[in-house]
Amino acid sequence: MLRRLILGAAVCLSGEVLAKPPGPGGFCATYPSAPACIGQQPACTLCHTAPPQRNPYGASLEPHLAPGAARPLSDGDFSLALPSALRAVEAEDADGDGVSNLEEVQRGTLPADPSSRPVDTGGCGPGQNPQYDVCRYDARFAYRRVLLDFCGLSPTYAQLKAFAALSAGGQQALLDSELDRCTTTEFWRGKNGQLWKLAHPKIRPVGSLKEGEDRGAIPLADYYDDYALYAYAQLDDHDAREVMTARYFVRRQTQPTRYTRVESLPSQSVESSRRAGNLTSAWSLISFVMFTALPRNAAAQSYRAYLGLDIAKQEGLHSIPGEPRDYDAKGVQAPACAACHATLDPLSYPFRNYNGIAGAASARYVPNRLELFFSDVSPTISQTPEAGYLFGRPVRDLLEWAEVGADSDAFAISAVTDYWKLLVGHAPSAEENAEFVATWRRFRDTHGYSVQRMLHDVIRTEAYGAP
């Protein structure tokens, strides 16, 4: 719920439709401490169902936006009018859930969704509990969870007794050491282990197309290389950003599983100077670029997988003026398409020279790829630039795209959200937002993007260790 809210868009629709590019920014200028504005901006769905249709919160705002002024409002007029309109409906309850719009905004729930409302949890009820301290963090509860989460099985009765007998400091030290021990197990790092589970939605494997180990009927690429790089970047204090930026590859060895950095692999073809981690792996190019001229799918999947922003859900929209140019003549300048393509197309341009399926030229960086292989797509296809935009910022090529992405708050938020969902059991809730924000900020600022260190923070949170 909060995930949808905080991983949002900066810009919604362009042209004469009614969702306004300055909307999310104006919202966050009015409510800078709202959870939806910490590190990101809210999605278009804060005010819209599917733009331009407004949800109840957006509909309640509309009459207060420069009443009497001609529609559509210019972006400037909209920006000037938005703060007062937001304040005018603060006391209202757009979704009728009994909580005012202002309280929902301040507590990180959705003012247009009656199923999303603040919930007070963690209080101490009456009575006793012989098993757990249900009021607050319970180290014994956390101990069971750490062993189950990272080792895959519960402690024994004797281990639990021994743990309970330790001092608070001793318990914390044992939690830390057990976490470190368990992250060396096959359950955590092995084939189909927990790290691989995190990677599945990013890599999106297809068994029938698998090359190499577990070869499929139509072998095209070996996505186990992608799992290996992902796992390597998550382990042993490595920099998690390298899943997007690595110029190297990773070899997986088994019994026990080990991941080793290598400079080349026979299953990979993109030269070192053009590599951007898993964005340019053979599998990503084969699977996500495939036969397309402008690899929008590869860009959108990279954006979704590693930055947590799903354009199909109106997240992470940063409209670039003058876009989409529609170099491949797909009709994306139609207003209903331009809403997303003003972000997506400039996001895709840096992929223009990365080839998908094309015989001997498959899964390679091919200068002038569009000119060589796709000249018949449209008269303007060759004008497609290699420079593009990410988060509204110009990037000269895919390497810079990957670096900007990996250094962004979105990357840190997305990476920590993956583990939050795995370990806490759900995306960060409004009640957990303060701990979640502190965790991703420390992951970025203090831990140097080390997942291993971040995990030690997660197991100390109330969200994780309070029954």
The contacts found for 237-240 with CB under 8 angstroms, 24 or more apart, are 237/448, 237/450, 237/452, 237/453, 238/450, 238/451, 239/448, 239/449, 239/450, 240/415, 240/449, 240/450, 240/451
Give strand pairing partners of 258: 253
Phi, psi of 239 (to 5 degrees): -85, 115
Q: Which stretch binds another protein (CB under 8 A): 61-69, 77-85, 130-138, 452-460?
A: 130-138
CA distances from 328 to 113, 215, 344, 352, 387 (A): 39, 35, 13, 11, 16
Surface-to-core class of residue 165, CB atoms within 10 Å of its CB (0-12 exposed, 13-18 middle, 19+ buried): exposed
| Residue among 2, 29, 305, 1 at smallest CA distance from 10 | 29
The minimum distance between CB 154 and another protein, in angstroms, equals 5
Q: What is the dihedral of CA 375, 379, 383, 385, to 10 degrees?
A: -70
- Provide the CA 395 distance to its chain's centre, in angstroms: 20
Q: Is 217 in the site for another protein (CB under 8 A)?
A: no
User: Based on CB atoms, which residue is closest to another protein, 131 or 273?
Assistant: 131
Q: What is the DSSP string of 38-102?
A: SSS---GGGTBSSTTSB-HHHHHHGGGSSTTPPSSPPHHHHHHHHHHHHHHTTTS-TT-SSS-HH
Tokens of 438: 């502190």
Alpha carbons 363 and 354: distance in angstroms, whole number: 7
The strand ranges marked E within 136-257 are 249-253
The correct pick among 88, 99, 148, 174 for binding another protein (CB under 8 A) is: 148
144 binding another protein? (CB under 8 A): yes
- By CB under 8 A, which span of 58-66, 100-108, 198-206, 366-374 interacts with another protein? 198-206
Among 121, 177, 254, 375, the residue binding another protein under the rule CB under 8 A is 121
Q: Identify the residue among 64, 181, 191, 204 touching another protein (CB under 8 A).
A: 204
Choose, by CB under 8 A, the member of 53, 170, 197, 331 that binds another protein: 197
405 is an interface residue for another protein by CB under 8 A: no
Within 13 Å, how many C-alpha atoms sit on residue 301's CB side?
22
CB of 463 to another protein, least distance (A): 8
End-to-end CA distance of the chain: 21
H/E element holding 418? helix 409-423
Q: Which stretch binds another protein (CB under 8 A): 115-123, 259-267, 318-326, 376-384?
A: 115-123
* Residue-wise burial string across 355-365, b where 16 or more C-beta atoms lie within 10 A, e elsewhere: bbbbeeebbbb
Asked if 215 touches another protein (CB under 8 A), the answer is: no
Is residue 201 near another protein by the rule CB under 8 A? yes
- 126 in contact with another protein (CB under 8 A): yes
Name which position in 15, 25, 152, 392 contacts another protein (CB under 8 A).
152
Q: Does the protein bind another protein through residue 174 (CB under 8 A)? A: no
Minimum CB distance to another protein, residue 152 (Å): 5
Site membership for another protein, residue 154 (CB under 8 A): yes
* Contact call for residue 191 and another protein (CB under 8 A): no
Shortest distance, CB of residue 151 to another protein, whole angstroms?
8
Position among 29, 134, 372, 437 found at the interface with another protein (CB under 8 A): 134
Contacts of 463 (CB under 8 A, 6+ apart): 420, 424, 428, 429, 432, 435, 436
Whichever of 225 and 328 has its CB closer to another protein, that residue is 225
132 binds another protein (CB under 8 A): yes
Q: Does 207 bind another protein (CB under 8 A)?
A: yes
CB nearer to another protein: give 124 or 168: 124
Interacting span for another protein (CB under 8 A) from 95-103, 121-129, 323-331, 335-343: 121-129
Whether the Cβ atoms of residue 235 and residue 452 lie closer than 8 Å to each other: yes
> Residues in contact with another protein, total (CB under 8 A)?
40
| Binding mask of the shown chain, residues 417 to 446, with x at each position contacting another protein by CB under 8 A | -------xxx--------------------
Q: Using CA atoms, how far apart are residues 437 and 231, in angstroms rounded to an integer?
A: 24
Task: Establish if 256 lies at the interface with another protein (CB under 8 A).
Answer: no
Please report whether residue 129 would count as binding another protein according to CB under 8 A: yes
Asked if 313 touches another protein (CB under 8 A), the answer is: no
Shorter beta-carbon distance to another protein: residue 178 or 345: 178
CA–CA separation, 130 and 39 (whole Å): 41
One residue of 32, 67, 98, 123 binding another protein per CB under 8 A:
123
**Rounded Cα gap, residues 60 and 85, in angstroms:** 9
The answer to the question of residue 453 lying near another protein (CB under 8 A) is: no
Candidate segments 199-207, 377-385, 391-399, 438-446, binder of another protein by CB under 8 A: 199-207
Judged by the rule CB under 8 A, the positions of this chain that interact with another protein are 120-129, 131-132, 134-135, 144-145, 148, 152-157, 160, 187, 197, 200-201, 204-208, 210, 214, 424-426, 466-467
